[in-house]
Structure 1
Amino acid sequence: MQVLGKSMKPEITTQEPDEGPLKLLSLLSTDDNVALNKQVSGINLLGDGKDTYQLLVDGNTQTCADSGSLVVGPAFTVDLGGEYLIEAVKLTYAPTCDTSLTGYGCYFHTTMIEISGDGESPEVKVCGHLEDEKGVEAKGEANVECESGPMVGRYVTIRKETTSLRSIYLCELKVIGKSQKPEVNSVNLQSVENEDCKLPKHLVNVALNKKAMQSSTSGNALDGTADKAIDGNKDSDLKEGQSCTLTKKEFGPWWKVDLGRAYDIYQIVITNRQDCCPFRIKSAEVRVGDSPNLEDNPVCGLVPSDSSATEETIAITCRCNTSMTGRYVSIQLADKTQVLHLCEVEVLVEK
């Protein structure tokens, strides 16, 4: 399932679809899938099938997700990680309608798409209903957009409207849109890179041997604990040097250091892993502030999303010709399911 849209936080108003079936589109104007590798949940009483849920957003239309045990109104929900202006949703079904996969046939019709936002009691809006069964059977997919126009939301749910026991067998879900938040941060970061920034001549690292934490630690023999990023060892070979952090593969993995007090920070320098997968750190958010809750702190900058992000040394300058004040420095892969590894993080302040 793919969800298309632009990230924004306007006032959310009730938007009900017009009467009639959900419109099938022959071509989408954009293909910026904001659901890729996001977190998927489902309605499941017995727990079977859960190991297939992430196949729904893995980018591969040949791998399929099974909602598992039969229930009334089975559903998949994708958490986009933040609010987006959702323009369209694309569903890809199994290549053939094999009843052995579902037990009760494929049932492309009576599928409802719901969109909801953040908060304890978010409003659930109906984007539309998929009723063109013959068209979906012929193509194996449906490109759809909400009848009432783009909708703002964080959660996208695909639900079977049935009064009998059913399950869902779906190969890919795409949500089309573009996050506004990364765009703004990227522009800020680029403006710093393009200017002739004058940093103080004598900068020192204040993160060395301070208190570090991370979202999780991989349970393998590499022992990639959070403190490995501030031990002074810049060995970028995780397996041989064993001086890099390593989280589990999860949604939005993060690492942070508590400097003990606030500093005027000019630059954060990351030593990136080189023996494997240096691309994983692309687009990571670097934040600086006084809150132990990393999401409350302002963004210092983003790790580039191009090939330069695979280099061994990545320097993030928060502001040009001035500092950014904070006690906590964090690095997070905010909008993706991935492993985060850091071989060293230096927080540079004026001596």
Structure 2
Amino acid sequence: MRLMIVTTNLALQLTWGQILENVALKKPALGDSMYSDTSVSQPRYAVDGRTLTDVWHYTCFHSSDYYWIYNPHWWIVDLLRDYTIWEVKITNRNIFPERLNNFTVDIFTGSQDPRTLPNWPNNYGTICHHQPTEDGPLASSETRTLPCASATFGRYVRVVKYGYTSLVMCEVGGCWLVASDR
């Protein structure tokens, strides 16, 4: 038996018994930097499953406020194996919503940690979604589903942001088709 699920602008065709799940939940996450009080801004807070949007409740990743002229702010989660990724959901902070703007979600495949690649972090994996400045930021406390342009196979999901403000996200999750191969 096959089941058709329409999500955003993508249709998923599943065989009975396959499931969609947030495979980023509780997985290892890293960021380029952390806000001055590092205890409240850890990268792992963006995949802890808690949907509170106040940084001071230890539920959001918050990069430093320092502007990196040549290197962007970034956050990355290791899914521990490859998955077919259809969309990514990101939850914004409750204040300063303009900070979650002009960012790209990209996917890296394989067992090599992309941070070991030459020219990191100024190289890109397969682009899943770009949120340009002209589309505006996510609203305060908004959770937005960001569809990939097409199903993307990969292990590492990164959010990268160029600009003069910090990268702040209170939850990063998604609706991914569980698969170990293409």
What TM bracket, shorter-length normalisation?
0.7 to 0.9
Contact 2:97/2:137, CA 8 A, preserved across alignment? no
| Alignment partner of 1:292 is 2:121 | no
Change (3 A) 1:235 1:304: farther
Aligned to 2:52: 235
Aligned to 2:149: 319
Letter in 1 for 2:177: E
Structure number with the bigger relative contact order (C-alpha 8 A, sep ≥ 6) is 2
Letter in 2 for 1:318: C
Aligned to 2:32: 215
Gaps of 5+ in 1: 1-194
Letter in 2 for 1:266: W
Distance in 1 (CA, whole Å) between partners of 2:132 and 2:139 is 9
Change (3 A) 1:327 1:307: same
Change (3 A) 1:350 1:298: closer
Contact 1:281/1:303, CA 8 A, preserved across alignment? no
Letter in 2 for 1:212: A
Q: Give the match's secondary structure for 1:349.
A: strand
Change (3 A) 1:198 1:242: same
The one of 244, 266, 276 aligned to 2:60: 244
Distance in 2 (CA, whole Å) between partners of 1:337 and 1:347 is 27
Determine which structure has the larger helix proportion and give its number: 1
Larger Rg: 1
Distance in 1 (CA, whole Å) between partners of 2:175 and 2:9 is 18
Contact 2:98/2:137, CA 8 A, preserved across alignment? no
Aligned to 2:138: 309
The one of 43, 66, 75 aligned to 1:226: 43
Change (3 A) 1:349 1:196: closer
Distance in 2 (CA, whole Å) between partners of 1:315 and 1:280 is 17
Contact 1:255/1:331, CA 8 A, preserved across alignment? yes
Distance in 2 (CA, whole Å) between partners of 1:331 and 1:247 is 12
Map residues 128-277 of structure 1 onto 2, 5 A cutoff. Answer: 196-199=9-12, 202-220=19-37, 223-239=40-56, 241-249=57-65, 250-251=67-68, 252-274=72-94, 276-277=95-96
Contact 1:286/1:330, CA 8 A, preserved across alignment? yes
Give the Å deviation of 1:319: 2.7
Deviations 1:169-198 (A, max 9, x none): xxxxxxxxxxxxxxxxxxxxxxxxxx9422
Change (3 A) 1:288 1:221: closer
Give the Å deviation of 1:200: 5.2
Distance in 1 (CA, whole Å) between partners of 2:75 and 2:38 is 20
Calculate percent identity across the aligned residue pairs.
29
Aligned residues: 152
Distance in 1 (CA, whole Å) between partners of 2:100 and 2:27 is 22
Task: Provide runs of 4+ in structure 1 moved above 4 Å.
Answer: none
Aligned to 2:5: none
Distance in 2 (CA, whole Å) between partners of 1:301 and 1:281 is 14
Determine which structure has the larger strand proportion and give its number: 2
TM-score by length of 2: 0.75
Deviations 1:4-41 (A, max 9, x none): xxxxxxxxxxxxxxxxxxxxxxxxxxxxxxxxxxxxxx
